Chains A and B, each alone.
Chain A
Amino acid sequence: MRRLLAAWAAVAAVAGLALAGPAPASVVALQDDRLPNLTGAPLVARLDLLASTGTRVTRVDVLWSRVARSRPADPTNPGDPAYDWSVYDQIMRGLAQRGIGVILDYYSTPAWASASGAPNAAPRAAEAGAFAGAIARRYSGTWRDSAAAAPLPEVRRIEVWNEPNIEQFWTPQCRRGPRSRYVPVAARGYAALVDVAAREIRRANPDAIVVGGVAGPAGSTDDRGKTCRTGSESVSVGSIISALRANAIRIDAWSQHLYPIGAPDRAFFFPSWRSLEQLTPLLDKLRPGMPVYVTETGYHTSYNRFHRYFVSEPQQARWLTQTFDIADRTPRVAVTVWFNLQDNPSWTGGLLHADLTRKPAWDTFARVAGAAPVPQEWLP
């Protein structure tokens, strides 16, 4: 009997079920992708705007190409003169002052770091991994940007890249191979990057949480990552997991972006909230019970070319509530980040219109964020 109970406990733990009382609620978070485009007083105002939503956690995109306009001599050293962290230092200090915790992701290959010079060019693992180390060291909680200043805030959660399974962020996804067949290359390349980045991040801050995947809502190759039907196909989420597993690469959490077609509790096309059940067994093969970070989700309120599915503004508000409800009922999901604060012509999933007027979802988010507990470990 005891053996049976032990077995059941193990199974339940693997399945992510909570045996000792209710599971911790998924942390409610909101991203503002305009932050890195501002400095000085406009940045301060923007940080106040973000804080006024009630969010206690946010996600910040670090653009590698902006921080490292030229090749650093010592790429893991955040003090290398080639690096310009000024915007990010302001952002991190500003968020910490407002009591907002941070998840960092980084992407955008500098021109010097690829043959094509394109920001979506697949990075070389050694260089992009070293940059992850520089980020982790700079925001390890001990780094001082000048002798007189207080140390910069610590950011523990670092996502390796953004949506490596989407051509907009990582190209090529597939490459022409022998006998004119296309073979997927993005998953293998990304796994190589995570391998280096995870090592460098942990070396810089042993307490850091390395978040891998950061997978976009796309990808259609087979999960073993053997073939691409065409040169323009994107690699699947499963093939990235397979590549990480094949190389025994250790990550602490998996990040998945969800943009469901349909209501959060009904949509089941992969990836969606309902299809997370398909994802978790794959993640368990990387590490049993690995937490899932939903670091982008949302609903657009008008058509745009990056996201061709939209809902009405009242629907967006209702489905925002459902999104965080379903996240709360999904024990594996540690955090859910609504993307984005404000609309722009390419992205209309904001709580605010482009002219900063509020959508109904603004009040809904404020209510949800206000009611959601945030564990201390997520706060600055």
Chain B
Amino acid sequence: MRRAALAAPCLALLAWGAAPAAAQAPTAPLEKWNEISAAALTGTDLLALDTETVRVRRRLAGGGLGPVEFTYHKTDLVGVGLAAGRRRFTRAAFDTRLAIRNSIGSQSGARLATGTDGASVVLPGAHGFAPPVVWCCPASGIEVVVESDGRSGAQRALAAGLDGTRVRMLMRSADGDVALVSASPGLLANPDDLDESRTAVPFAGRPSGGLAAIADGVVAWTEDPATGVVRHGAPADTGVTDVADTRFGGRVLRVWAAPGTVAALVRTGRVASVRTLEVASGTVRTVWRGTSLPRVAVGGGAVAVADGRRILAARAGPVARVAQARGPVAAIAVDGDRVAWFERVVIRRGGKPGRWTVARLARVTR
């Protein structure tokens, strides 16, 4: 019994790679089981959006009869370095790179896009307010607020992504019109400077809900999810060119975009499937099929799917198993060579079980 009690914390430390700070780690933990709304690999880092409604409760000295309680909502952009060419992290801990907090409503469903230069764009979920769009910060660590408007009739960002160094956003006004807004926050000398390069042009479409995605050279959206049709084109400051419709079949539940690729999660009857479109050739492939709704990531010419605890990925054709998670998967990311996922596990530390979300890496093998 004594030996088992000793072994548990040791195993726990090994499990999340609590190695000396300088050593590389096979895993990186996040405290608690917060919602990981999105994850992405930039080539040098694994990024994730950690979203939580924080319920604060504390009994204060001289505070009267009961404890003080209040709630606020947050989205943190957290990141950890990746060891070059290896399935290891540079350290066994995430650091917080952005923190978006409010007392209005949940930020659940936050989205994250990354670009070729290591920059990222954060679009928090926004229940009851127009979400800010924040560009963050490959070299300086200094963010740029690309969009932020607290007025009741403010435009709402439906999607945001990086097209080269250009941030592209689909902004819907109160009357329902959508504009394609472009900006270059990474080129500003000072993050508070007016972005003279900012453009806004009408967008020839009305994306439904959050069913739109933007990446380098591609914007994809659906106007009526029930039709199974996804529209896509090439974004530019002057508008979207080469617009085409592609039938994905079934009902469109989510849309992703990556350079040269559009993907959608569709449902037909009880069957859900992940389908990809190779934009250049127009080829649509079904890369996964199942009955539950999986976590999906697209990037670097690969697709990754977390089907229950099975981690599946492939650069071409149907995804194949590359790893098995040890707990429910909260989010997944892929960059072509590596797949990263966040699994929710219970780890005993000091004899007490604790909830942790642990990031792991595997190689995309084919």
Contacts and interface: CB of A to CB of B under 8 A. Distances in A.
Contact of B100 (A261, A303, A311): A303
Interface string B78-109: 00000000000000000000111111100000
Contacts of A304: 145, 148
Main SS of chain A's interface residues? loop
B62 interface: yes
Given A309-B72, A311-B102, A312-B104, A268 B60 contact: yes
B103 A315 contact: yes
B151 interface: yes
B100 A308 contact: yes
Interface string B97-141: 011111110000000000000000000000011101010000000
A262 B69 CA distance: 10
Nearest to A299: B103
B246 to A, nearest CB: 35
A262 B150 contact: no
A315 B60 CA distance: 24
A302 interface: yes
Contacts of B72: 261-262, 309
Given A261-B101, A308-B100, A313 B191 contact: no
Main SS of chain B's interface residues? loop
A303 B132 contact: yes
A302 B192 contact: no
A42 to B, nearest CB: 19
Interface residues of B, number: 33
Size bracket of the A interface: 20 to 34
B196 to A, nearest CB: 14
Nearest to B129: A312
Which of A308, A309, A310, A311 lies at the interface centre, i.e. has the most chain B CB atoms within 10 A of its CB? A308
B56 interface: yes
B152 interface: yes
Nearest to A275: B60
A277 interface: yes
Nearest to A303: B132
A43 interface: no
A344 B332 CA distance: 38
Nearest to A307: B101
B355 interface: no
Which of B58, B69, B148 lies at the interface centre, i.e. has the most chain A CB atoms within 10 A of its CB? B148
A280 B102 CA distance: 29
B216 interface: no
B143 interface: yes
A336 to B, nearest CB: 20
